[in-house]
Amino acid sequence: MKYEIDKPSGIVKIDRPQKYSNIVPCLYGFIPQTYCDTAVAEWAKSKSELEIVQGDHDPLDVCVLTSYHIPRGNILLKAKPIGGFRMIDHGEADDKIIAVLVDDEIYGKFNSIFEVEPSVIQRLKHYFLTYKNLPDASPLCIIDAEYDQEEARQIIQASRKDYVNNFSE
């Protein structure tokens, strides 16, 4: 199943059943009080040569690397951003922040996406490049770039700005 946050209620909902088997290779969720709209799209446009129309109008996605088995996804946890992927999905900025669980025995020491074993990053990329694909169809998503901790923090700030602009009174 593909889950999303229902923006009016703030409750996690089933967005759609996945057509094909896939397993997310890490904890996957979103950063609370973020939203990908104008500021996130402008950031992506400033860094990419691809056509970016808008943000994806969802909270900012986060992939949390941890050595611990956490069998549920509807939780809050402390994570440290170490980088991310600039993903473009049908012209929409759909960044994936890569973070590590704070105090994790294995991943907690990393401060940069470029310190993580390349095969771990490759698995994450493969998942996001293929999880929406149908057999014999053109790819839907492009990963335009990998970036380090500082750019991840800038994107988080842009998504917080978008959240305030769209949801604060």
pLDDT in tens, the chain (169 residues): 777 777 777 778 887 776 666 778 899 999 999 999 999 999 999 999 999 999 999 999 999 999 999 987 778 999 999 999 999 998 999 999 999 999 999 999 999 999 999 999 999 999 998 877 666 666 678 999 999 999 999 999 999 999 999 988 7
Q: Cβ(128)–Cβ(141) under 8 Å?
A: yes
Residue 111 resides in a domain: yes
Question: Any idea what the CATH number is for the domain that residue 41 is in?
Answer: 3.90.80.10
Q: What confidence score (pLDDT) does residue 134 get? A: 60
Which residues neighbour 20 within 8 Å (Cβ) at sequence distance 6 or greater?
134
Number of domains within the chain: 1
Domain assignment of residue 60, yes or no: yes
Helices in 67-113 by DSSP H: which ranges? none
Kind and range of the H or E element at 84? strand 79-89
What is the C-alpha to C-alpha distance for residues 32 and 11, in angstroms, rounded to an integer? 12
Structural contact between residues 59 and 35, judged by C-beta atoms closer than 8 angstroms: yes
pLDDT computed for residue 20 by the predictor: 65
pLDDT score at 99: 98
Per the domain annotation, does 13 fall within a domain?
no
Sole residue written with tokens 């969720």: 29
Is there a domain that residue 10 lies in?
no
For residue 46, give the 3-state DSSP assignment: helix
Structure tokens at 89: 């999905």
Residue of 93, 95, 86, 20 whose CA lies nearest to 60: 95
* Residue type for position 149: Q
Q: What domain range is 47 assigned to?
A: 18-167
pTM above threshold 0.85: yes
Whose tokens are 């088995």? That residue is 69
Give the burial class of 116: count Cβ atoms within 10 A of its Cβ; 0-12 exposed, 13-18 middle, 19 or more buried: middle
CB 121 within 8 A of CB 148: no
The answer to the question of residue 96 being in a domain is yes
Any domain includes 3 = no
The residue to which tokens 């960044």 are assigned: 95
Say if CB 22 and CB 127 are below 8 A apart.
yes
